[in-house]
Homo-oligomer: A and B are copies of this chain.
């Protein structure tokens, strides 16, 4: 750290009484500059402790060394941990990242894509907004030959690299765990059906119920925006049923937290009278009372793999043809909210 003003190409030019363009050419070993001038320029550059501006240099080479990241929101531990890990891997390779959030809005996501294209990013790593059905903007990224890597929330139709966890199997693990705890009426507060990951979780839930000969009751399967507020509302809806469930599997931890608040407010014993399982392993799941069982989505690994996939593209002159489709196995972390049978 120094407070001294940085030397510029202009400073070097002034010392030698030549043009800044000549200095720049000399520093890049341009054949139009004499060896004598090159040596003089390099000596002055060293004397003035001149540091080249890497971004300007990158731009000349047609690379911004910027990677754009689009997430539904930053205030989720899952997304901020993915971002953190993308950043760690890319920083080491000389890339900076810029982050935009869609707030689950399709329109905002389109704006974000335009913004990132405008800033000349070398690649985009994205997780889609809940609202997004139309893939036009993502196709625009592809058509420009800019590497696009999706994580967590992606779409098969786009045919791009994808990193995520096995959502279908995660639901199976959760239902199996609840069945072993003795639960017989298992409800699912799920995400939007049109979003692939939530659809997979719903399919996993339905198939697991069939496997264990449990009733598939339409009133126990509820679509939700998965906010805390909506988790509260959907839990109230389940409690108002004539034939209440004895377990609730919520497809997101924030909505699970809302459900937990309602259960606590109504003094319903967890897990004895209502077992609860969330999804995402947000840090608060181990802080609340009772602690909430949840699925660990391996955010760190997802972030690292997404960054590495981008780097594979960046190192190739042309877009690489084979795609990475990486599906990680998730892990169920059992906590108090669903531990009916003590070991």
- Number of copies of this chain that the complex holds: 2
| B100 close to A96 (CB less than 8 A) | yes
Residues of B within 8 A of A100 (CB): 96-99
| A73 close to B66 (CB less than 8 A) | no
Interface window among A77-85, A196-204, A273-281, A308-316: A77-85
Q: Complex formed: what's the CA distance from A214 to B111 in Å? A: 56
| A64: contacting residue among B2, B84, B87, B118, CB under 8 A | B118
| B83 close to A74 (CB less than 8 A) | yes
Interface secondary structure of A, over-half rule: mixed
Q: Complex formed: what's the CA distance from A83 to B74 in Å? A: 9
Q: Complex formed: what's the CA distance from A87 to B103 in Å? A: 10
| A118: contacting residue among B59, B74, B133, B284, CB under 8 A | B59
| A74 close to B99 (CB less than 8 A) | yes
Chain A residues within 8 Å of chain B by Cβ, number: 45
A119 on interface, CB distance cutoff 8 Å? yes
A17 on interface, CB distance cutoff 8 Å? no
Q: Complex formed: what's the CA distance from A149 to B215 in Å? A: 58
| A115: contacting residue among B98, B115, B134, CB under 8 A | B98
Q: List 6 A-B contacts (CB under 8 A).
A: A1-B106, A2-B134, A66-B119, A98-B100, A98-B119, A99-B99
